[in-house]
Structure 1
Amino acid sequence: MNRQNLCEWLAWLERAHPSEIDLGLERIRQVADRLSLGSDARVLTVAGTNGKGSCVTFASALIQGSGRKVGTYTSPHILHYCERVRIDGVPVSEAQMCEAFTAVDEARGEVSLTYFEFGTLAALWLFARHQVDVMVLEVGLGGRLDAVNIIDADVAVITSIAIDHEVWLGSDREAIGREKAGIARSGRPLICADREPPESVLSAARHLGAPVERIGVDFEITEQASGYMFCRGDRRVNLPSLHLPAASVAAAIVAVETLGIAIDELALVRLANQTQLPGRMQRLRSGRVSYMLDVAHNPAATEYLAAKLRVQRPAGRLHCVFAVMADKDIDGVLAPLTPLVDTWYLAQLSDVPRAAAPEALADRLANAKANVVQVGSMATCLAQAAAVAGDDDLVLVCGSFFTVSAALALLIPDGS
């Protein structure tokens, strides 16, 4: 079939493979070999339960700031698929994406690939075509068997390890850590931004002979009255207030320096102050209403979000527009937020089969004696929350990437 545009490609990819997730590297390696993706680019690979997108974003900004061409691969996207593949911070065009998909399709022959595998190969093909100096790759799920792991990392980063995706990764941190440590390579540095990493991570590094740098041991970032202090060895750098998680920022700095890229201190301070990531405690204002949007979708992520909200609590009320996937630990996701939220608005994500029914969420919140005001479409929930929000109130939108994407499409329909 001749697919004419990106929409046709994505629609085909969604149904091209029998299952959405099919972990393993044999099929994708076979197609990668046919594509001849060899490159002289240095490779930074980032895994983690939470914070990996922030680490990838800040590392990419630092690399670009050093004058090197950087290719960045992330997932999932918020508003547009091309957000996943960026060259020097700019998403590739739909035409370039279609060209890459065509190349992968022609190379695969009879080999079936998942949506994510297809996209990963397309990103690597584009990076080779653009002759990037450094590739910064975000693991999609786990690490050891994730499609990104067909590429050997020169430096690997693990941002955090928490319980999520238990069906595929295991039900405890030791098992999950073992999967994430699969991105490490023999004799090559592993940066760990988890303050209490499972023994499985450290054991895997020892077995490989991969030197480990750990936050709290070999480098540190601490909050100060006027921002943050980053420390590594004898080096001390005062950073302003950050828009990204501090541990992810620190891991990005260490990773980029470990790649052998010098970071100018003035540039570091400027980028720390400027670099943001959509959907990560993203603030925006629409009319008189203040919003915060966050993709937090597991208990560790909502605990982090709740901790930040306690510090940045609005003077008025906190209203929450919420939707989550049914396969998550929903009670664990809700628990940190329930004491902080004054009113709940439970959105139906009708085009997302995995989404939990808002009526079921309402029952859970009723048991916690929470105030559920609205159950309905995202448009209805946002409109109702905005209608009751006072000047000192904050409307929080959270629960998943799909939740934030649906809200942003309504709040900033032109994507600007």
Structure 2
Amino acid sequence: MTQSFKKVHAITGMKDVLPDSSAQWQQLEHTVRQWLASYGYRNMRTPILEHTRLFTRGIGEVTDIVEKEMYSFTDALNNEHLTMRPEFTAGIVRAAIENNILYDRPQRVYSLGPVFRHEKPQRGRYRQFHQIDVEALGFAGPDVDAELILMLARLWKILGLKDIRLELNSLGQAAERAAHRDALIAYLEQHRDVLDEEALRRMYTNPLRVLDTKNPAMQEMANNAPRLFDFLGEESLAHFDGVRRRLDDAGIQYTLNPRLVRGLDYYNLTVFEWVTDQLGAQGTVCGGGRYDGLIELLGGKSAPAVGFAIGVERLLDLCSQSGPSVAAAECQVYMIHQSDEAQRAAVGLAEQLRDAGLAVIVHAGSSGFKSQFKRADASGAAVAVILGGDELAAGTASIKWLRADALEGQAQQEAIPQDRLVTELKQRV
């Protein structure tokens, strides 16, 4: 007796994207690629797997990502410690160093794809999720910081998203952060009684992240803590002022948030987030900033850089709230036939239509006209092409328009000689 097989389910926090939903993904990805190309950004693709030390070095050993969220394992074949990428930036910087792409000129690049973090799954937060990652490598000035923010404002406009607001801060330079760190640790030591377990753990390793707490009991303490902004020197302030002036020139509204630090150790100077109240607790749609020290930290020649990442699932969630989504059609032309001979003729005509650039489905198998028309309508096709006994005898194909917008100005159904079918449909579909 055959033992029954236990049904396999997807891994918790890793979601299937089915064809109807995938159409929305493809539409968004197409829009994003056009938007990025309009600013001169080119696609770059890096491996999903990287050496674990790339992320512990680049992201920071005491960050939540490295401490708790990475999918890491030891490769049994060569005993290497590997990690599925939890973010794109470190891998892109590694690739830029390894392939020497920064020695000729600065680079504007982007990546699209999955990243992996072992988090508690909830709305807008998955264990496999997807990011649009954009990096400007080799650019030092505040003009490029502002350019990235202006780019994002344009994307929200293209997508019709209105309830996203910009928060802005500067983290200064390493020496300024060190001075602030000392002052912040001293302050936290004076307020041990209100610190939760997580804050006590981070107090000496990553005190800046203590201020990013969501614990209501710690909010007053965090609000009154020494502000990093007060420790910034003239150069850091001048850079930040340069960013703000360009945003003001463009009419971009923003809020200064001195507690905005981001979750990665590599940031310096400008940091920003675009946030919304439309996604519940997971309100950050996009985050980024400048990371001038990371390229040298990972073994390259010192070079400035700035970038951001957008969560695709969160962005799609926002887009779905701004208006109903329309499922993409499976094809433009659906071929309906009766008899084996008609089906073979339909296959030949379909290939000619595809040569002309049209998307065509030939009904599979044999079934009645009624069920074939029902399937043609469900496909979203603009027109059905019908081949029956009468059409084969006359050397014609009947076409029936299935959509009101396609029908405008045309007879709903008409017969066309088969040798004119390609030309007619190419012009009219």
* Shorter-chain TM-score range: under 0.3
Higher CA-based Rg: 2
Given the two structures, how large is their TM-score scaled by the length of structure 2? 0.21
Given the two structures, how large is their TM-score scaled by the length of structure 1? 0.22
